[in-house]
Amino acid sequence: MKFGTLDVLQVALFILSLAVLTPIIGSFMAKVFSGEKHFMKSFLGKTEELIYRVCRINPAEEMNWKEYTFALLAFNFAGFILLLLFQEVQQILPFNPQHLPAVSWDLAINTAVSFVTNTNWQSYAGETTMSNFVQMVGLTVQNFLSAATGIVVILPFIRGIIRKTTDDIGNFWVDVTRTTLYILLPLSVILAIILVGQGTVQTLTHYHTVKAITGQGQVIPVGPAASQIAIKQLGSNGGGFFNANGAHPFENPTPLTDFLEMLSILLIASGLVYTYGRLIGSMKQALVIWSVMLVLFVSMLSVSLYSEWTFHPAYASTPTMEGKETRFGITNSVLWEVATTSASNGSVNAMHDSMTPLSGMVALVNMMTGEVIFGGVGAGLYGMFHFILLTVFIAGLMVGRTPEYLGKKIEAYEVKMAVIGVVAPSAAILVFTAIGVITRGGISSLNNSGPHGFSEILYAFTSAAANNGSAFAGLNTNTVFYNLSQSAGMVIGRYSVIVPVLAISGSLARKKSIPPSPGTFPTDSPLFGFLLIGIIIIISALTFFPALALGPIVEHFLMLAGKTF
Amino acid sequence: MDNKSGVGLASAFDRNIVVQALADSFKKLNPKTLVKNPVMFVVEVVAVVSTYVVAQSAIGHQPSSLSFDAQITVWLWITVLFANFAEAIAEGRGKAQAEALRKARAETFARKLENGKEVNVPATELSKDDIVVCEAGDVIPADGLVVEGIASVDESAITGESAPVIRESGEERNAVTGGTKVLSDRIVIRIIAEQGSTFMDKIISLVEGAKRQKTPNEIALTILLSALTIVFLLAVATFPPFMHYSGKASGISVNEYVSLPILDSLLVCLIPTTIGGLLSAIGISGMDRLIRKNVIATSGRAAEAAGDVDVLLLDKTGTITLGNRMASDFLPAPGIPVERLADAAQLSSIADETPEGRSIVILAKERYGMRAKEVRDVGATFIPFSAQTKMSGVEIPALDGLGPRSIRKGSGEAMKKFVTEIGKTFPQSVQKNLEEIARQGSTPLVVVENGEVLGIVQLKDIVKGGIKERFAQLRKMGIKTVMITGDNALTAAAIAAEAGVDDFIAEAKPEDKLARIRQEQASGHLVGMIGDGTNDAPALAQADVGIAMNSGTQAAREAGNMVDLDSNPTKLIEVVETGKKLLMTRGALTTFSIANDVSKYFAIIPAMTGALYAFGKPYGPLSALNIMKLGSPESAILSAVIFNAIIIILLVPLALKGVKYRPVGASAVLRRNLLVYGLGGIIAPFIGIKLIDILVNALRLV
Amino acid sequence: MKKAILPAIYLTLSMTFVTGIIYPLFITAVSQLIFPGRADGSLVKVDGSVVGSKLIGQHFTGDRYFWSRPSSTDYNALPSGASNYGPTSDSLKTLVERRRADFIQLNSLPSNAIVPAEMLYASGSGLDPDISPEGAELQIERVARARRFGPRGREALAKLVRRSVRGPQFGLLGEPRVNVLLLNIALDTLHVTGRKTS
């Protein structure tokens, strides 16, 4: 097994495809958000109007930031309650061919929070816990709606920048409806049908029981998987239909599905950067942000690939294939790992827990940056806004001018909100991990000891607070302790970033717009990109260096020394 | 040291100031005052905790780490004291500066009438209803009403009009404004406005820092620094649980590695103490730098806003052009040789000591080689300018076969009246020239000899030397300049082009200024202006940075947020630079402070975790992170703490002086500062900590 | 604020209808129409009875069949899953050492032979249907011996293995691999002809 030309080509093809699709999807989304005419309207325009009428929504109405925030929270809360309810009564609902019982209360809360916050952390195994009804009508729905929620948050921010001295930052209901109908739904339909064509299952029948040629029996679980997998990849959700997620042959049967699913992880997040540039009227700004994301992505990918390909444990003398699928091999497993953790997707096609320490650290760091390397749909970009504002603030000071971003002054209020958005998830990670590693409730769930056990707990809370959802899955998190602490982490990680962004959007919209001058620090220059990378790395590194030292870093040294636990 | 720069940097370490600052450093330990600086407050709390631990172990019998813990504790206190010292020294210098100012200002005197006798009193001590006398050459000390006499007053500093105006007792033209200059005659003035002597006290308390409010930008920065402090507080607080887990996994007890003094050290090294300790010193010294330029800001907010100004409204007269017009041309009447006109004009101006008069003499000399004859010797009598006749001139008795000459010069209107009164004619072409010159915005002076109109001397605005380069710099800094003038558009455009301003408002009325400021602000600009007249007050108040000239009216001074004691209109540019410097210093030191943390991790984390997973070997795998090869875990921690403390003191001069500012584009400035303070901030402490570690080990401190 | 509550509920319900019922049912209908076999799980039939899915790996023991990869669930699909052992896990080390020794011994390989990684490590799903071509080739000897193939039968078997190798998709994506279930089904048919020729 050697890293060869084919590996390089696959990575290159992946990045190239992303670069080519970004402007296409990006400009389409810009049309949708700005209410322009686009071809999807002729299919679903009537549906959009009907939804407004049924829900008594006045699409022309504008909201201020508080109304927008409240609408968003109310919408998410309604989704949470509904999903909780479905899980608790699934035994009496239809589409339950395996007669699965009601889900335990703490797991149900965890799952509901997890899917509503776009985390899709799964403390359960889908095929043995959730009925087809819950998967379809509960989980799939939240896959759409949590993704739409994430995406729409960038719209008030954009309006905050382009509008002047107003309280109006848009209409949440309209934004979320259009995003779901015109962007998520069509893309999901296309991807789902391709997936089925490659072998992903999509059926409502009960599981197959077969007698193998060896005479052994095997139960083959099936279900409406493709429809859910399409949106879980596109919407940076990541919650698998089956326990093994993207490693499961029914979720991800061929290298082609693997490629498309990986591409889907980053597609919308990457396209949104283009959309952003289009809507604020400066593609250069978007290009800098996109380049920053790409540079970080490629750097992280390089570290992870290097670590995975060069590590040969003494007892095997080959790179490790533990937790990886033969059809994907090492390169595609690592590529997916880096994509899914940088993008807050959380689906996996190989088990991160079994990867090398440095590769695991890449996954951790990707999440610890607050998921801004492309990031979750919307979430990556709005998380990036926080970093941009902090960078602009520090850069502005260094050039001797009260900082401004795209003509809007960045003052105490914006700085306050931006630091909340950056600091709160980090705080949640550190505090919950600290509780996890010293309480019995935390440690008893471990299946690895030594520094790797520490990494497992750190990963669990990092994944929750970053709304990623991937896991060092050796940790059994279906316990009351983890279900509830994770839920708290997911809520903090989601809303302590969203609400400050919306508050900033409101504040920006109220401001005047300052025309740029040579004294304005340009935010569309490579220099700004460089500084932004510096700020992202230094803030995350300074926060988490001690934790990383005691987890993956020390494990790396120990692994090289051949030590096992 | 020259007077203008006041208390210079050398005296930053003036003995008295230092002694006072040292004493203040301890006074500032009071948590009530320190709590305003969250970063340093945390350091103090941490120092108290460490002290408690040391005291405990001194009482109990745990001498093993006592010396180490005690040294750490001492350095934690020193960190706080150093930060206090930085603030105290900045305040001390500010106070000295203000003191010096107060003295300098008291030396401006007014001629106050007390019981009919003239007494010289400091201008600041004038109060309402005092009566003062002003004669030609005097500056009117304060706003008042003329109660006696008539005088021509130069109000160009206020109105921009260089032509003198008449002020006389009575109902209509009796108001005079402080800072204007009496050109002729004598008037007695009743003061109507209180001279704010308390004004200075207010300023002094500001620079002393006692009443200093945080500026918006400081508030934003403090929020960022507090957030970083919270993050590091969490990173440090969660570290012991992480360590306990790891200790258990490697089969050792980690208690000695997570003792409170060690955790305190880690925390203090990580939180941004460098910028936290120097933040208020930077703010105070920013105002201090303004004072050294003889500009007093009435708030820190103003000093900071100055850095943001991107539109400057500048009065033409005095700022862009020399305050007085200069003779630029002789335009003879038909049939008169130009030499004759030049000669007469020169003669009539010999005794005229105004810049305009002198410029006529010089122009005649330069153009036609005319040497001013010593006409005094031949018994010539000079007629000075008077408000009644509005002309000046000379009477030369008959000499050398020439008849007596009576030469007069004055404004077109006055001379026309003069000529027609004695029955002579005013030539049509001269009248035409008069109009033409006026249209160009220049001032014509008509010269008449023995009733015959010789022609016109044209007085023109002269753009100040070097101003064009100055504006080019401003443009690079991203600042737009707008010239304001009462001239017509044609002249204004010509001068604007010559001076290189970006835009101009011609035939400006006071309300135009205000309208322009509002318009610029509405499109998001921050506007700075300098003004002095009463009618400038609304504009000064509206401008984001309004600098009132000290010579200006009381109303203007109160409306603006800065006062320029030199009354030098180009000061605005320096004020902007100072404001930028202030922000840049903050940004540079913040970057430096955060960048420092990288090295501190590499010093302290291996020291704390080096023993983990050693499994019997002397060092565990994480000692590989000790890339500085520091002597021992204890010396590593101590060295980091010492470095963290002394870097504050080492950077005090930079905080007081401000980082270098060059008027280049924003990107260039950022690139440079990022290299110096960002990259430098990462590298410098690696070297510093290593050196201290060598010293600590050599001295066997641990 | 209050006025947002009703739209929140109505919109959640409307969207549930659109994306939770219409959308999956639409996809199901289309899938069943265009790709009925694949949508149902790519089931493989031998002699009319379903013996498994070509996508889901099965456990093969004994020398007569090619072995699948080690599986932490033993190819029990309820639920799928992995060992999640980290690289410094003692248990993983023990397992891999044992698998390596077994693989070398049972396939009669030289003791310093490099065993393909997928035969030592368990897959992520526990249901990996594939092994690498090397992994299959190293088992040819053993299978041939167990099935008492002569030289021609062995050659036919080697040919079958080579034929069973699927290269990277489109020559570019993924890794070359051999589907163990399909190989073993083909092997059973080869078994018949093999005997005839021997």
User: Please, do chains B and C touch (3+ CB pairs < 8 Å)?
Assistant: no
Of B307, B480, B666, the CB nearest to A521: B666
**Residue range A370-385: mean pLDDT, rounded:** 92
In 3D space, the residue among A187, A82, A190, A96 whose CA is nearest the CA of residue C14 turns out to be A82
Torsion of CA B260, B262, B264, B269, to 10 degrees: -170
User: How many CB pairs below 8 Å do chains A and C form together?
Assistant: 382
Calpha distance A194→B81 (Å, rounded): 69
In the predicted model, is pLDDT for residue A352 greater than 50? yes
User: B339 Cβ partners below 8 Å, 6+ apart?
Assistant: B368, B370
Q: Which residues of A touch C124 (CB under 8 A)?
A: 244, 247, 323-325, 333, 348-351
Query: Kind and range of the H or E element at B585?
Result: helix B571-609
Calpha distance A479→A436 (Å, rounded): 12
CA torsion through residues B264, B267, B270, B275, sign: negative
In the predicted model, is pLDDT for residue B3 greater than 50? no
Instruction: Write the pLDDT tens digit of every residue in A212-229.
Output: 988 889 999 999 999 999
Query: Kind and range of the H or E element at A107?
Result: helix A105-116
Of A203, A210, A323, the CB nearest to C124: A323
Least confident segment among B45-54, B197-206, B470-479, B638-647: B197-206
Which residue in A322, A361, A554 has the most chain C C-beta atoms within 10 A of its own C-beta, making it the best mutation to test that interface?
A322
Q: Which residue has the tokens 């790519």?
A: C42
Q: How far is B219 from chain A (nearest CA, A)?
A: 6
Calpha distance B18→B12 (Å, rounded): 8
Return the pLDDT at B431. Answer: 86
Q: Do A254 and C169 touch (CB under 8 A)?
A: yes
Q: Do C28 and A218 touch (CB under 8 A)?
A: no
In the predicted model, is pLDDT for residue B672 greater than 70? yes
Given strand C165-166, what is the order of strands in its sheet? C130-131, C177-179, C165-166
Chains touching C (3+ CB pairs < 8 Å): A
Of B476, B591, B625, the CB nearest to A398: B591
Calpha distance B415→B417 (Å, rounded): 5
In the predicted model, is pLDDT for residue B551 greater than 70? no
User: Is B532 in the active site?
Assistant: no
In the predicted model, is pLDDT for residue B324 greater than 80? no
Task: State ipTM.
Answer: 0.94
Chains touching B (3+ CB pairs < 8 Å): A
User: Please, do chains C and A touch (3+ CB pairs < 8 Å)?
Assistant: yes
Are B558 and B532 in contact, with CB atoms under 8 Å apart? no
Return the pLDDT at B688. Answer: 96
Q: Do B666 and A519 touch (CB under 8 A)?
A: yes
Q: What percent of chain B has pLDDT over 90?
A: 27
Helix and strand counts by DSSP (H, E) for chain B:
25, 21
Calpha distance B18→A468 (Å, rounded): 56
Q: Do A512 and B522 touch (CB under 8 A)?
A: yes
Q: Which residues of B touch A443 (CB under 8 A)?
A: 245
Reduced to 3 states (helix: H, G, I; strand: E, B; else coil), residue B504 is: strand
Calpha distance C16→B532 (Å, rounded): 69
Instruction: Write the pLDDT tens digit of every residue in C122-140.
Output: 999 999 999 999 999 999 9
Calpha distance B691→B559 (Å, rounded): 54
- Cα nearest neighbour of A129 on chain C: C79
Q: How far is A468 from chain B (nearest CA, A)?
A: 21
How far the first Cα of chain A sits from its last, in Å, is 27
How far from C158 is each of A214, B121, B264, C149, C167, CA to CA, in Å? 22, 117, 69, 11, 17
Instruction: Write the pLDDT tens digit of every residue in B372-384.
Output: 665 556 677 888 8
Of B219, B231, B245, the CB nearest to A438: B245
In 3D space, the residue among A47, A419, B457 whose CA is nearest the CA of residue C22 turns out to be A47
pLDDT grade, residue B514 (50/70/90)? confident
How far the first Cα of chain C sits from its last, in Å, is 85
Q: Do B523 and A450 touch (CB under 8 A)?
A: no
Most confident listed range (A456-460, B1-5, B371-375, B388-392): A456-460
Q: Six-digit token pair at A286?
A: 């978007």
Return the pLDDT at B635. Answer: 94
Calpha distance A432→A460 (Å, rounded): 10
In the predicted model, is pLDDT for residue B284 greater than 70? yes
Active site residue: B315, B343, B352, B532, which one? Answer: B315
Backbone phi, psi, residue C169, to 5° = -60, 135
Torsion of CA B466, B467, B470, B476, to 10 degrees: -120
Question: Regarding predicted confidence, which is higher, A446 or A516?
Answer: A446
Which residue in A321, A459, A553 has the most chain C C-beta atoms within 10 A of its own C-beta, making it the best mutation to test that interface?
A321
Of A1, A138, A255, the CB nearest to C174: A255
- Full DSSP string of B441-478: T-EEEEEEETTEEEEEEEEE--BPTTHHHHHHHHHHHT
Calpha distance A529→C101 (Å, rounded): 53
Q: Which residues of C touch A242 (CB under 8 A)?
A: 79-80, 125
Calpha distance B686→B597 (Å, rounded): 10
**Residue range B161-170: mean pLDDT, rounded:** 75
Q: Which residue has the tokens 């759409």?
A: A144
Calpha distance B416→B451 (Å, rounded): 10
Backbone phi, psi, residue C49, to 5° = -115, 145
In 3D space, the residue among A337, A168, A165, A305 whose CA is nearest the CA of residue A238 turns out to be A337
User: B84 Cβ partners below 8 Å, 6+ apart?
Assistant: B24, B25, B26, B28, B29, B34, B40
Q: Which residues of A touch B472 (CB under 8 A)?
A: none
Calpha distance B496→B487 (Å, rounded): 11
Chains touching A (3+ CB pairs < 8 Å): B, C
Return the pLDDT at B522. Answer: 81
- Cα nearest neighbour of A140 on chain C: C20
pLDDT grade, residue C166 (50/70/90)? very high
Calpha distance C20→A133 (Å, rounded): 9
Q: Six-digit token pair at A380?
A: 């990556």
Q: Do A201 and C41 touch (CB under 8 A)?
A: yes
Helices (H), chain C: 5-15, 23-34, 36-39, 90-106, 117-120, 133-146, 151-164, 180-197
Q: What percent of chain A has pLDDT over 70?
A: 100
Calpha distance B23→B15 (Å, rounded): 12
Calpha distance B204→A301 (Å, rounded): 59
Q: What does pTM read for this prediction?
A: 0.86
The residues that bridge with B562 in the sheet, in sequence order, are B297, B547
pLDDT grade, residue B398 (50/70/90)? confident
In the predicted model, is pLDDT for residue B65 greater than 70? yes
Mean of the per-residue pLDDT values of chain A: 93
Q: Do C15 and A227 touch (CB under 8 A)?
A: no
Q: For B212, which DSSP code?
A: P
Q: Do B238 and A433 touch (CB under 8 A)?
A: yes
Q: Do C30 and A193 touch (CB under 8 A)?
A: yes
Of A54, A198, A558, the CB nearest to C10: A54
